[in-house]
Every structure is written in structure tokens, then in C-alpha cells.
């Protein structure tokens, strides 16, 4: 099929590359000429394992193209995906200005019947707004062209997005007619050779499915973090509790690891947007509000442990930070716990020496830009020299089995704050570390 994808961010670029990998002819569109120029040169604006290889491969084969001209992109395409950002507004709602701007352009330039697919994460009711926007432009043109609007939420995990797209757990499609459903089934059929994971439903239910899924996962994380805070106060060990409850097949082990809070582009934004939607319709979402409140507090837990150990005045203290990204295998720092922890500590006068395998540029250029108390190094051990303690925030693989003797030799004092509970407290004590975890006294 001939496909256009409007927006070359995380979702748009991964989707375009994977569709091209299956033999479709894909044109990706972005208003940022600089980004398009870099993509044409094979320079990928985000880090995602495996993405660069398939982008370069399919651009070379001419099954994947890049342009800033939306009219050129949609002229011969059957399906056009809207995959632009929906940033969080001040009131927690999703900002739809970019989605509707794309819809307006499609209405202005489409020349034949098209299927318009909402791939961006959008609130319930957005498909109807897209429909109204496109129809208004067609009416202004006095055009009788027809189109379908479809909801196709993405369920990609950063760090495993290519695998998730090529081997999906499910493909959710919301549409209001069987023809549109069949077109989308045909598009996705190469991704379902071993098992039909296609789930068709009405549009509003599809839009809601994405929010409900992310809210459920965020709820598990905040629930477990709340349990960890209780365990720490009563003398229980959250790591043992996790093993005890995770063995129950009704609960499972996924998303029940205690830590210093969730971040990223999805969970924080989607929980708040769903809560805002609920309130707009007269319902107070008490669980969602609690999930967000617990997560907000959890991002301060590690810094509070530091203050308890070193005092509120951290002048002349140096802390090594391992990990800046909100999770491993990505350079994404949106809503990352590291931002909160580092800002807490530097506000108290501390100096930070940070290391992350992929997110350094994001920190320096944006998320920690202007914080003169933060410096960066290119290896985990360089961060440790003469530091008063090390703080592990992101559970990158290279942090799982470090040389603890080297850590002790480099640190000024053998103090280890572990925001992801990577190690056993007893073993750390045997090696002479003063070790602080989440949910353990």
C-alpha cells in the first residue's frame, strides 16, 4: 500500500520504518526541514534500538521517503496516519492543535478517498474533531470527496518499539464502517502471520483503550511504590513482598518493581489527560488522581534519603548519578525521575557528576540545561571519582554487575543510593557499603 505518515517523532518514525520494512511505500512528513534533512542523511533524531538500520535500509530501497510537503505526500496515498505530538496542557488535557492542523491540511490537499488514521494518543472524541475539521476544508473547496477516520492507538514500549511493532500483542482499530476496518486489517495482516491479533471496535472505545492501558500500568507502578513506602516504615522488605505477590498468576511480575517513579512520554501525560477528561464529564477519578499524586511524591524519595543521610545543606557535597533517561534503552528524558532528583540536590547546593549511555545530549541541551551544578562524563566509573555517594536512577544493563571494588576505591565514602533496587542489601553490606534502597529499612 501507499502510506503517508504525518509527524516524524517517536511514533511516526517507528511506524513508517516498520510499514516500509513490510514492503509498503511510505512517505513521512514533518514541518521541520532540519529534521527531514537529517533523516535523508540517515541521521536519526531519537535513540531506539534497531531503528537506524531499517530507516537507512528502506530509504536506500526507496520504500521510505521524507518530505516537508504534505500535499506531495498524500496525493497518491490510500492511508494517511496522523502521528504528531499531543503535549500536555497546563490543565492536564492533551493539546490537539497539531493533530487538527494536520487534519486541516489533509482536507485542503486530498484528491481522492482516503482513510485518515489517528495514531497519536488522543482523548476520546478526537476522531470526530478530525472528521469535522477535514469536512470543513472539503466544504470550503466545494468538494464531494469522501474519507474515513480511524483510531489506531499505538502500544510501543520505548527501547523495544521495533519488536513491539513487528510482533504486536494486539492491533486495535476503531472505525465506523466495515470497509475501513478491512483496509486496516489488510495493512496489518503481514504483522499477524502466526496469530490474528486484530481487534476491531468503535472509534471511542479504541481511543479509550490506549488511555485505559497506560493508566492501568501506571496504577500498578504507583500501587507498588505505595506498598514500598509502607514496607519501609513497618520493617518489611518490598523486594520479598514483590516476589510473594508476583508469583500469583492473577497479579504477575510485570510493572510491580518499586522505584523512584514513572516518567516518559506516555504514563504521566495520559494519566493526567484521562483524569481531565473524566472531570470534564462530571466524574471524579479518585484512583487516577491518587496514582498521579503517589508518583509525584515518589520522585522525591531518593533525594529525601540523601537529605536524611547528609543533611539539608549539601554544599561541598558531590554525588555521582548513574542514569538520566526515564528508562533503559532510550534517550528520552521526558518526566524522568532524574530531573526531579538532580534539581532537589543541586538546589540544596550539591554538585552532580552524571553518566548515561544515551541521554547526555538530552540533559545538557534541554532537561538540565542551565544547571551549572551538573557536569557530565562518558563512563560510569569516571562519575565516581571523589564523590560522596553514587545514586543509581536508571537501570541500564551496564549498571547491573559493576565492579564494586572499583566503586569503593573511587568514592570518597562507600555510600550507594539505589533508586531501582538492583542489588541485595545483605551482599552490599558484606562488601562494606552503606546501602539505601526503596521500600527497605
Q: Give buried/exposed letters for 189-216 (b at 16+ CB in 10 A, else e).
A: eebeeeeeebebbebbebbbbbbebbbe
- The C-alpha cell that represents 256 in the structure block: 510491580
Separation between Cα atoms, residue 438 and residue 431, nearest integer Å: 19
- Confidence at residue 377, expressed as pLDDT on a 0 to 100 scale: 98
User: In Å, how far are 29, 151, 173, 278 from 133, measured between CA atoms?
Assistant: 19, 16, 21, 24
Separation between Cα atoms, residue 245 and residue 335, nearest integer Å: 28
User: Cell match 480511524: residue?
Assistant: 150
Reported as a pLDDT band with limits 50, 70 and 90, residue 430 is very high
Q: Give first-to-last CA distance, the chain, whole Å.
A: 58
- The C-alpha cell that represents 176 in the structure block: 465506523
Separation between Cα atoms, residue 184 and residue 178, nearest integer Å: 10
Reported as a pLDDT band with limits 50, 70 and 90, residue 194 is confident
Reported as a pLDDT band with limits 50, 70 and 90, residue 139 is very high
Could you give the 3-state DSSP secondary structure of residue 271?
A: helix
> How does the average pLDDT of the chain come out, rounded?
96
Q: What are phi and psi of 390, to 5 degrees?
A: -115, 140
Q: Is the dihedral of CA 62, 153, 263, 98 positive or negative?
A: positive
Closest by Cα among 388, 386, 394 to 339: 394
Please check the confidence at residue 195 and state whether its pLDDT lies above 90: no
Reported as a pLDDT band with limits 50, 70 and 90, residue 92 is confident
205-230 confidence digits (pLDDT tens)? 999 999 999 999 999 999 999 999 99
Beta-sheet pairing, 64-67 with 25-29: parallel
The residues with which 148 forms a beta bridge, in sequence order, are 115
Closest by Cα among 202, 194, 196 to 173: 202
Can you say how many angstroms the Cα of residue 410 is from the centroid of all Cα atoms in its chain?
34
Other CB atoms within 10 A of residue 379 CB: 10
Instruction: Quote the DSSP letter at residue 88.
Output: B
Separation between Cα atoms, residue 134 and residue 307, nearest integer Å: 55
- Confidence at residue 350, expressed as pLDDT on a 0 to 100 scale: 98
- Confidence at residue 88, expressed as pLDDT on a 0 to 100 scale: 85
What interhelical angle do 267-280 and 203-234 show, nearest 10? 110
Please check the confidence at residue 90 and state whether its pLDDT lies above 90: no
304-325 confidence digits (pLDDT tens)? 999 999 999 999 999 999 999 9
- The C-alpha cell that represents 413 in the structure block: 565514602
Q: What are phi and psi of 116, to 5 degrees?
A: -100, 125
335 or 93: which leads in pLDDT: 335
- The C-alpha cell that represents 386 in the structure block: 571523589
266 is a catalytic site residue: yes
Would you call 313 exposed, middle or buried from its count of C-beta atoms within 10 A (0-12, 13-18, 19+)?
exposed
How does DSSP assign 118-141, residue by residue? E-S---TTHHHHHHHHHHHHHHHT
Closest by Cα among 175, 104, 177 to 138: 104
361-387 confidence digits (pLDDT tens)? 999 999 999 999 999 999 999 999 999
412-429 confidence digits (pLDDT tens)? 999 999 999 999 999 999
Q: What are phi and psi of 64, to 5 degrees?
A: -135, 125
Cβ atoms of 16 and 64 within 8 Å: the answer is yes
Separation between Cα atoms, residue 204 and residue 433, nearest integer Å: 53
CB-side exposure of 410: number of CA atoms within 13 Å? 20
Cβ atoms of 309 and 436 within 8 Å: the answer is yes
* Alpha-carbon radius of gyration of the chain: 24
Active-site option among 28, 231, 260, 266 = 266
* Cβ-based neighbours of 311, under 8 Å, separated by 6 or more: none
9-47 confidence digits (pLDDT tens)? 999 999 999 999 999 999 999 999 999 999 999 999 999
Cβ atoms of 49 and 162 within 8 Å: the answer is yes
The pTM score is 0.94
Closest by Cα among 76, 72, 60, 66 to 16: 66
- Confidence at residue 91, expressed as pLDDT on a 0 to 100 scale: 86
* Mean pLDDT across 237-262: 96
Closest by Cα among 434, 76, 425, 95 to 236: 425
Amino acid at each position: 500500500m501507499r502510506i503517508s505518515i504525518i509527524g516524524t517523532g517517536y511514533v511516526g518514525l517507528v511506524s513508517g520504518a516498520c510499514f516500509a520494512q513490510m514492503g509498503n511505500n511510505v512517505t513521512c512528513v514533518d514541518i521541520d526541514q532540519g529534521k527531514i534533512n537529517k533523516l535523508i542523511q540517515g541521521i536519526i533524531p531519537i535513540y531506539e534500538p534497531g531503528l537506524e538500520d531499517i530507516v537507512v535500509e528502506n530509504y536506500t530501497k526507496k520504500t521510505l521517503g521524507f518530505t516537508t510537503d504534505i500535499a506531495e505526500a498524500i496525493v497518491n496515498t490510500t492511508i494517511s496516519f496522523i502521528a504528531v505530538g499531543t503535549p500536555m496542557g497546563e490543565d492536564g488535557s492533551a493539546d490537539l492543535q497539531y493533530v487538527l492542523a494536520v487534519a486541516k491540511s489533509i482536507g485542503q490537499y486530498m484528491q481522492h478517498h482516503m482513510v485518515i488514521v489517528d495514531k497519536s494518543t488522543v482523548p476520546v472524541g478526537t476522531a470526530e474533531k478530525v472528521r469535522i475539521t477535514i469536512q470543513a476544508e472539503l466544504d470550503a473547496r466545494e468538494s464531494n470527496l469522501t474519507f474515513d477516520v480511524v483510531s489506531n492507538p499505538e502500544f510501543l514500549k520505548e527501547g523495544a518499539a521495533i519488536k513491539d511493532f513487528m510482533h504486536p500483542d494486539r492491533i486495535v482499530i476503531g472505525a465506523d464502517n466495515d470497509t475501513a476496518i478491512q483496509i486496516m486489517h489488510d495493512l496489518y495482516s503481514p504483522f499477524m502471520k502466526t496469530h490474528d491479533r486484530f481487534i476491531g471496535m468503535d472509534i471511542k472505545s479504541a481511543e479509550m483503550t490506549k488511555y485505559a492501558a497506560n493508566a492501568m500500568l501506571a496504577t500498578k507502578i504507583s500501587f507498588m511504590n505505595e506498598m514500598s513506602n509502607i514496607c519501609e516504615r513497618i520493617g518489611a522488605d518490598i523486594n520479598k513482598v514483590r516476589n510473594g505477590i508476583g508469583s500469583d498468576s492473577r497479579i504477575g511480575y510485570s510493572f510491580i518493581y518499586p522505584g523512584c517513579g514513572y516518567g516518559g512520554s506516555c504514563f504521566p501525560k495520559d494519566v493526567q489527560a484521562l483524569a481531565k477528561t473524566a472531570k470534564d464529564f462530571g466524574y471524579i477519578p479518585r484512583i487516577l488522581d491518587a496514582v498521579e499524586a503517589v508518583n509525584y511524591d515518589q520522585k522525591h524519595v531518593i533525594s529525601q534519603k540523601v537529605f536524611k543521610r547528609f543533611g539539608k545543606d549539601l554544599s561541598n557535597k558531590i554525588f555521582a548519578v548513574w542514569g538520566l533517561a526515564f528508562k533503559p534503552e532510550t534517550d528520552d528524558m521526558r518526566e524522568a525521575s532524574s530531573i526531579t532528583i538532580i534539581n532537589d540536590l543541586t538546589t540544596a547546593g550539591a554538585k552532580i557528576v552524571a553518566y548515561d549511555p544515551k541521554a547526555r545530549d538530552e540533559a545538557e541541551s534541554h532537561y538540565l540545561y542551565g544547571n551549572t551544578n551538573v557536569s557530565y562524563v562518558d563512563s560510569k566509573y569516571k562519575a565516581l571519582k571523589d564523590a560522596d555517594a553514587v545514586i543509581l536512577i536508571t537501570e541500564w544493563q551496564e549498571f547491573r554487575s559493576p565492579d564494586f571494588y572499583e566503586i569503593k576505591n573511587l568514592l570518597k565514602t562507600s555510600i550507594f543510593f539505589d533508586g531501582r533496587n538492583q542489588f541485595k542489601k545483605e551482599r552490599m553490606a558484606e562488601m562494606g557499603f552503606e546501602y539505601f534502597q526503596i521500600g527497605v529499612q
